[in-house]
Amino acid sequence: MTHGLLSIGVAGALGPAAIAELAPAVEEAGLHALWVNDTPDGDALAALAAAASVTSTLTLATGVVPVDRWSAEQIADRVRDLPQERVVLGIGSGAARAGALQRVREAVGALRDSTTARILVGALGPKMRALATAGAYGPLLSWLTPDAAARQAGEAYAAGGYAALYVRTALDDAARGRLREEAARYASYPNYAANFARLGFAADDTVLDPGTFRDGIRRYRSAVDEVVLRAIVPGDGVGDYRRFVAEAVSAV
């Protein structure tokens, strides 16, 4: 267990040019990794290629690439052009519910055969978390309280795995509204709603804002190997994310 690594996560929709501006600031701040969400309007692997060209030590991660939209072969082909020793491939089942476990299992196997990058699996339920530890490097968790994160990370550690956790975070009062909108959006998705009901807490209980950050980040960092602060900022400019990085590092 490595407890305490601190990273930042951003949306692929920022685009490669903006990511290339932001990545050096993340590296210089001493954060462990830059995670980029892959979305229909944001190519995470293109963003990581841009970040790789302007950094030398920063870990570069995807959170997550959906394997119902990108095949393992497509992912592997593109990762070959990246510094694989610095790459973490976060993959997930995607929006298609049917066959999710098998789809991810096959993708993990194919990627392990074709790349040396570490593979984490985005996992909500116990079956996907078990697959993440048995077949990959470990689970990429999200939308958990510190206590729930510690319990789920403990499952991974018992099997020799690694546990990373996405935590939606706003460090500017002006971003509180966007943070609550993000929580409400995920709470409206049936699979997440079912997971919150099963675990017994709400999406709002898992986020950090300016008033809860200092205590919350301490508890999260003691629960998992790596905390990824999914940055929720007032605007969409690179400057907003640079300020987030500076504020996060200063606060911890």
**Is residue 91 exposed (0-12), middle (13-18) or buried (19+ Cβ within 10 Å)?**
buried
User: For residue 160, what pLDDT is reported?
Assistant: 95
Place of tokens 């909500």: 124
User: For residue 98, what pLDDT is reported?
Assistant: 87
CATH of domain 5-251: 3.20.20.30
pLDDT tens readout for residues 154-193: 999 999 999 999 999 999 999 999 999 999 999 999 999 9
Q: What is the Cα gyration radius of the chain?
A: 17
Candidates 99, 102, 43, 97; CA nearest to 75 is: 43
Residue ranges of the chain whose pLDDT lies below 70: 1-3
User: For residue 2, what pLDDT is reported?
Assistant: 63
Cα–Cα distance for residue pair 86/1, rounded to 1 Å: 19
